[in-house]
A and B are shown apart, each in its own frame.
Chain A
Amino acid sequence: AQSVAQPEDQVNVAEGNPLTVKCTYSVSGNPYLFWYVQYPNRGLQFLLKYITGDNLVKGSYGFEAEFNKSQTSFHLKKPSALVSDSALYFCAVRDKGMIYNQGGKLIFGQGTELSVKP
């Protein structure tokens, strides 16, 4: 069965320091991987995705993620954290399904609360 794990419920970082939010996955074949962010009282916003190609993916708000096939990981990173980055982050893998027109649903990790302090 396909699954995603975010091993940390919470990550605390000082403003200006680099941040990493971890994600590992289990899926057959080549994964389609996504990161979403949820700010307080808001919906999920798409940050970035890995479909194919370069293992380092750049996304919105200065975030990037590195796809590592051997470690089955897709960690989210940012070189210098901002207080405004404080939010709930979700990693997801797309279920490709068995039939072309099926699949497409996302399988999410449990989320990681990022707190950036001044």
Chain B
Amino acid sequence: EAGVTQFPSHSVIEKGQTVTLRCDPISGHDNLYWYRRVMGKEIKFLLHFVKESKQDESGMPNNRFLAERTGGTYSTLKVQPAELEDSGVYFCASSQRERRETQYFGPGTRLLVL
């Protein structure tokens, strides 16, 4: 079974530019989560999809962040325009509806905003 995949693995952009991160969850997982770890601090929740619907977006820092999940499959997280403080590692996780307790994480996307 393929795990959660994320693309790109690394991204270096300048302040003010736009970046789009992609996450492909484990096949059949209805739940998809985005998290990020900024500057070596704790991992913080951004938002949660159940299929294509946003279930909880309480962790989204501001309206520069836009997440979508097309057809309940893969998800994208767009940052526009990027700011210096957006640098960090963005993780995606997915879980089954019936076994929602365990979330399986992707390798993360390391974003550096210069």
A binds B: yes
Residues of A within 8 Å of B, CB-based: how many?
25
Is the CB of B101 closer than 8 A to any CB of chain A?
yes
Which chain B residues lie closer than 8 Å to A45 at the CB level?
Answer: 105
Map CB proximity to A onto B31-71 as digits: 1 under 8 Å, 0 otherwise: 10101000001111100101000011001000000000000
Give Cα A101–Cα B51 distance, bound, in whole angstroms: 12
Question: Taking the nearest CB of chain B, how far is it from the CB of A60, in angstroms?
Answer: 12
Question: Taking the nearest CB of chain B, how far is it from the CB of A67, in angstroms?
Answer: 14
Question: Taking the nearest CB of chain A, how far is it from the CB of B35, in angstroms?
Answer: 8
Map CB proximity to A onto B61-95 as digits: 1 under 8 Å, 0 otherwise: 00000000000000000000000000000010101
Identify the stretch in A16-24, A75-83, A107-115 within 8 Å (CB) of chain B at 4 or more residues.
Answer: A107-115
Which chain A residues lie closer than 8 Å to B33 at the CB level?
Answer: 104-106
Residues of A within 8 A of B (CB): 32, 34, 36, 42-46, 49, 51, 90, 92, 94, 97, 101-111
17 CB contacts below 8 A, A to B, read A34-B102, A43-B6, A43-B106, A43-B107, A44-B43, A46-B104, A49-B101, A90-B43, A94-B101, A102-B48, A102-B56, A103-B56, A104-B56, A104-B100, A105-B56, A106-B93, A108-B44
